[in-house]
Amino acid sequence: MDFAAWETPVWTRLREEKRPIVLYGMGDGADKILDRFEALGIRAAGVFASDEFVRGHSFRGFRVKKLSETVDELGEDLVIVIAFASQRPEVLEKMYALDARFDVVAPDVPVVPGPVFDADFARAHEAELQQAYELLADEQSRRVFEDTVRFKLSGRLRYLRASETGKDEAFRAILRPTAHEHFADLGAYNGDTIRELLSYTGGAFASITALEPDRRSFRKLSQWAAEHLAGGAVELLQAGAWREDTVLHFTDQAGRQSRVADRGKETAMRALDSVLDGRPCTLIKMDVEGAEREAICGAAQTIRRYRPRLNIAAYHRSADFFQLPLLVHGLCPSYRLYLRHHPYVPAWDTNLYAAEK
């Protein structure tokens, strides 16, 4: 398929736009978008935020305004660029309300620095895109794949909304957790996915192995585990997931945004194969801020031996949603591969799920 021809690229459209272009939101996402604007010669006319965040401050040389102020100044006929990410229902509703009133786009910029998914990128990876698409196990996965491509090219929210499903569907239809899981949580954060898993098993499990590199998140994870995890073997490691045991630098950002970087705090990295050392594993979750390829390679022996069900974040890099399925298929061709997008703008929380036939 000629994926690159599916939609007019959002960057092309913005470059040719004659109406005022304003950003909704500030922070890292807005920085990335404005950097790309500068590289492409796209001019932003302003920045606005939700009313409760407007305090007379500035961002990148723009005074941050309310939407009402922006409309008073520029009129209703403008283009709004969503420049931050959210999964909170009340925030998504605000975004959808804007989309119903204005011309709204949410340009896709990768979470981890790297190439943007544009028409040139799609053409360069056409063979891989086609191979990954053909590996998908069900119609919903193919719909997610198609809508992900269309969203990444166009920035249109309707493509995200068209194929999103709740996580409950993935847990019940694909992962199907039992009370006897040997669960490995790579990127455990504060234990949120462990809690999610245990909600399906009545709190029962056989063993839990959790890796979390961020010091503050690991402290919260440890405190929660000490109070709530009993009845099985628990191993918590303050470490990141990688292809081998080593030490790397991590960014100083706390929480979910901590990731491998050129500079930062020295952090222990572990391969899951080394951590488990042959112990059984029935379910693996990976959400490791762009290091999913390395984490998969570091779990290759475990995956080949035990065929654990997989839940892998497939959105940190532009190529993740098609390259990670190819990588997992290469390790274990017997897996059925699924893609699901859970409510989020932009295309975050797009996950690869894998389970034996």
Whether residue 188 sits in one domain with residue 308: yes
Domain enclosing residue 286, as ranges: 177-313
State if pTM tops 0.75: yes
Choose one of 313, 329, 346: the last residue of a domain.
313
Whether residue 282 sits in one domain with residue 191: yes
pLDDT of residue 231: 65
Residue 140 domain-assigned? no
Residue 22 domain-assigned? yes
pLDDT of residue 250: 73
CA separation for the pair 130, 322 (Å, rounded): 9
pLDDT of residue 265: 81
Q: What parts of the chain have a pLDDT lower than 70?
A: 231, 252-264
Choose one of 295, 313, 331: the last residue of a domain.
313
Tell me how many domains the chain contains.
Answer: 2
pLDDT of residue 233: 94
Residue 274 domain-assigned? yes
Residue 253 domain-assigned? yes
Whether residue 182 sits in one domain with residue 117: no
pLDDT of residue 53: 85
pLDDT of residue 260: 62
- What 3 state SS string does 258-300 have? CCECCCCEEEEEECHHHHHCCCCCCEEEECCCCCHHHHHHHCH
pLDDT of residue 168: 96
For residue 276, what is the domain's CATH number? 3.40.50.150
Whether residue 102 sits in one domain with residue 183: no
Task: Please report, in angstroms and rounded to a whole number, the separation of the first and last CA atoms in the chain.
Answer: 27
Provide the CB-side half-sphere exposure for 293 (13 A, CA): 15
Whether residue 215 sits in one domain with residue 286: yes
Whether residue 184 sits in one domain with residue 101: no
pLDDT of residue 232: 73
Whether residue 119 sits in one domain with residue 182: no
Residue 132 domain-assigned? no
Residue 162 domain-assigned? no
Give me the helices (H) in the chain, please: 10-16, 28-40, 67-74, 89-101, 119-124, 126-135, 139-154, 157-163, 167-170, 192-201, 215-228, 272-276, 292-298, 300-306, 320-331
Residue 129 domain-assigned? no
Whether residue 295 sits in one domain with residue 185: yes
pLDDT of residue 56: 82
For residue 28, what is the domain's CATH number? 3.40.50.20
Residue 304 · residue 332 · CB < 8 Å: yes
pLDDT of residue 257: 54
Choose one of 106, 123, 140: the last residue of a domain.
123
Residue 249 domain-assigned? yes
